[in-house]
Amino acid sequence: MLLIGLTGSIATGKSTVSSLLSAPPYSLPVIDADQLARKVVEPGTPGYRAIVGYFGPSTPDLLVPVSESMPVDGPDGKGRPLNRPALGRRVFGDDPQVRRDREKLNGIVHPAVRWAMFSAALRAYLSGARAVVLDVPLLFESGLDRFCGTVLVVAVRDPAVQMRRLRERDAHLTLKDAENRVMSQGDVRVKARRCELRGGKGRGVVVWNDGGREELGREVARAWGEIERASPAWWSWGLWACPPAAVAVAVWSFWENVRINRRWAEMEARERAKI
C-alpha cells in the first residue's frame, strides 16, 4: 500500500485537495491528522486533561464559556470543550514563550495522533486499499514524511493569496493573528522546494494552487498521473499480495527518505552559514 503524505500550510488549499482525492475518480481513503487531533483532545481524554492541566491556570478562557446549553462540567459531565481560538492565541506566534507553549501542546497531541494514524493506516492496508492519504499539516516537521512513498505539497507562489484566503475564511482573525498562524506553519514555498528534492517518478509532487477550484482540479489530476505512473495498480496489488516484499520496499523507501532529509538539512546549514 502506498502512503501519500499530503501537506501544505494554512489557507493553501490542502483540505480541498484532500476532499478531491477522497472523491471519484480517485476515491482514496484519507487519514486527516486535524480531525484526529480534535478527537484526541475531546473532554474526558488524557490529552484533554493534560492540556487543561498545563494551560488552564494561565488561560482563563481556555474552555468554552458556561451558558444555558453548556453546563460547568460540560454536556456529558466530562468537562467543557476547549476554546480553540483562545488556545490558538497561546501557541501561534514567534515569541520564545509562545514557541515553548506550542512545543508543549505538540508534545501532548502528536503522540496520540500518530497512534491513531497508525491504527487507521493498518485498517486501510488490511482492507486492501491500494493507497492511503495521510493529511498532515506538519508532515516534514513531525518526521512522518520518512514513512511516505510519495509526498504531495499544496502550495501557492504568492504569499498575498495565502493571507487573503485565510482572512476571508477566518474573519475573526486580526491581521497579526493571521500572520502568526501563517508563520507557525512555515513558508510553504520552502516546503515545496523540500518536496521537489525528493526527485521525480512521483516521489515528490507539488500542487500549485494560486488559481480557482477548476484549475486546482487539473493540478490534482496531473499530480495523480505522476503518482500512478510511478506506482501502477499492478505494483500496489503485488506488494499487498506479498507482505515480505512490501516490508522490503517500505524499509528501502524509509532509508531513502532519511538520506534525502539529511541532504536537506545540509543544504539548510549551508544557507544559514551564508547569512
The CA distance from 23 to 29, in Å, is 9
Contact present, 201 and 253 (Cβ < 8 Å): no
Question: Are the beta carbons of 130 and 236 closer than 8 angstroms?
Answer: yes
Query: pLDDT band at 89, cuts 50/70/90?
Result: confident
pLDDT at 90 over 80: yes
The architecture of the domain spanning 36-128 is: 3-Layer(aba) Sandwich (3.40)
What pLDDT sits at residue 254?
A: 94
Q: What is the mean pLDDT of residues 98-113?
A: 91
CB-CB neighbours of 241 under 10 Å: 10
> For the segment 133-188, what is each residue's pLDDT rounded down to a tens digit?
999 988 998 899 999 999 999 999 998 899 989 988 888 888 888 888 888 778 89
159 near 54, Cβ under 8 Å? no
Percent of the chain topping pLDDT 70: 100
Please check whether the two domains, 1-29+131-275 and 36-128, share a CATH topology: yes
Q: 195-238: per-residue pLDDT in tens? A: 999 987 789 999 999 999 999 999 999 999 999 999 888 888 88
Output the average pLDDT for the chain: 91
Q: Is 212 helix (H, G, I), strand (E, B) or coil?
A: coil
Q: What is the pTM of this model?
A: 0.84
Q: Where residue 275 falls among pLDDT bands split at 50, 70, 90?
A: low
Place of cell 497531541: 109
Q: Of 15, 274, 259, which Cα lies nearest the Cα of 135?
A: 15
The confidence score (pLDDT) of residue 237 equals 84
pLDDT-based confidence at residue 28 (cuts at 50, 70, 90): very high
What is residue 271's predicted lDDT score, i.e. its pLDDT? Answer: 85
May I ask the CATH architecture of the domain 1-29+131-275?
3-Layer(aba) Sandwich (3.40)
Q: What ranges do the domains of the chain cover?
A: 1-29+131-275, 36-128
Q: For 51-78, what is the mean pLDDT?
A: 92
